[in-house]
């Protein structure tokens, strides 16, 4: 019987652990949804769901589970922060599934909507069919006037954010806050941005909540180390809740994957946030 040397034993161990990590990351954790819960107020009156970075590639069963998980949470509204698909081949199918949401869906484009030249009119129609809206460099109030939701398409705030669409339509036209564009007391101001780095470039603007994606949490994270690699325009905000000068920022690690179909110590996420 051939004797197993120490070197052979170590090599076998390294290869075995590597293989196990690849199996776990590509076959198990990649679609192992987790739900994060955040309570940002002692007396919350608004419940929203944040999800991002679908990178949908035709897996109806997986996206249907995502939609069902959101519906089961029974939120007042859902917020999406970019990258529905990587190419338009799967866009119609993804929008058909997203239309199954049972709450208003508000969202913005990510870099992949622009790279793939996705038709914004189709996306807008889907989001509006839920009672929400598609907000590339636009702002709207929710129909109950509880939130002002602003959407950005880039990393920095545009010089002219289009706030002409449905800003406090049900308020008295004589209300001075409506005339001046000021936000009435009690209305929560929420910013949707694809890029976490936006939070450092908002000047004196203040928000009750800033939501972002893009980072994917790095997809591969190591204990006590964190993400091995993240894309640009993250500025250290790669996953979770951060206190920024503009307000609390939550960076969701996303639903899908990009480049390599692997997640390790970085399960796909749906975040339930109470304000």
Pairing outcome for strands 147-151 and 138-141: antiparallel
Tens of pLDDT along the chain (275 residues)?
A: 545 565 544 443 333 333 333 444 445 799 999 999 999 999 999 999 999 999 999 999 999 999 999 999 999 999 999 999 999 999 999 999 999 999 999 999 999 999 999 999 999 999 999 999 999 999 999 999 999 999 998 876 554 555 555 555 555 545 444 444 567 788 999 999 999 999 999 999 999 999 999 999 999 999 989 999 999 999 999 999 999 999 999 999 999 999 899 999 999 999 999 99
Number of domains in the chain: 1
Q: Is 28 helix (H, G, I), strand (E, B) or coil?
A: helix
Residue 18, domain member (yes or no):
no
40 is in which domain, residue-wise? 32-274
Residue 23, domain member (yes or no):
no
Residue 105, domain member (yes or no):
yes
- The reported pTM is 0.86
What per-residue string of b and e applies to 117-132 under the rule 16 or more CB within 10 Å gives b? ebeeeebbebbeebeb
Residue 19, domain member (yes or no):
no
Residue 242, domain member (yes or no):
yes
Q: Are 208 and 189 in contact (CB under 8 A)?
A: yes
Residue 254, domain member (yes or no):
yes
| Residue 183: alpha-carbon gap to chain centroid | 25
Residue 227, domain member (yes or no):
yes
CATH number, domain with residue 131: 3.60.21.10
| Structure tokens, 93 | 């199918």
Pairing outcome for strands 247-251 and 209-212: parallel
Residue 136, domain member (yes or no):
yes
Give the H/E segment covering residue 134: strand 133-134
- Ramachandran class of 106: left when φ > 0, alpha when ψ lies in -120 to 50, beta otherwise: beta
């Amino acid at each position: 019987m051939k004797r197993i040397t120490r070197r052979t034993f170590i090599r076998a161990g390294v290869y075995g652990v590597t293989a196990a990590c690849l199996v776990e990351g590509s076959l198990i954790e990649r679609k192992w949804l987790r739900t994060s819960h955040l309570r940002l107020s002692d007396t919350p009156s608004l419940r929203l769901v944040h999800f991002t970075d679908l990178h949908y590639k035709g897996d109806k069963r997986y996206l249907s589970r995502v939609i069902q998980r959101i519906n089961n949470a029974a939120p007042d509204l859902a917020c999406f922060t970019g990258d529905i698909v990587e190419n338009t081949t799967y866009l119609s199918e993804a929008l058909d599934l997203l239309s199954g949401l049972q709450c208003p869906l508000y969202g913005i484009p990510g870099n992949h909507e622009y790279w793939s030249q996705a038709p914004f009119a189709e996306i807008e129609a889907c989001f509006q069919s839920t009672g929400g809206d598609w907000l590339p460099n636009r702002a709207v109030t929710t129909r109950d006037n509880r939130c002002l939701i602003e959407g950005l398409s880039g990393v920095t705030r545009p010089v002219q954010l289009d706030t002409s669409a449905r800003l406090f339509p049900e308020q008295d036209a004589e209300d001075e806050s409506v005339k001046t564009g000021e936000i009435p007391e009690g209305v929560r101001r929420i910013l949707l941005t694809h890029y976490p780095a936006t939070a450092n470039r908002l000047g004196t603007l203040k928000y009750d909540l800033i939501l972002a994606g893009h980072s994917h949490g790095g997809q591969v994270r190591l204990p006590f180390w964190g993400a091995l690699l993240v894309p640009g325009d993250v500025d250290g905000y790669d996953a979770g809740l951060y206190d920024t000068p503009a307000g609390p920022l939550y960076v969701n690690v996303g639903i899908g994957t990009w480049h390599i179909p692997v997640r390790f110590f970085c399960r796909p996420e749906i975040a339930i946030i109470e304000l």
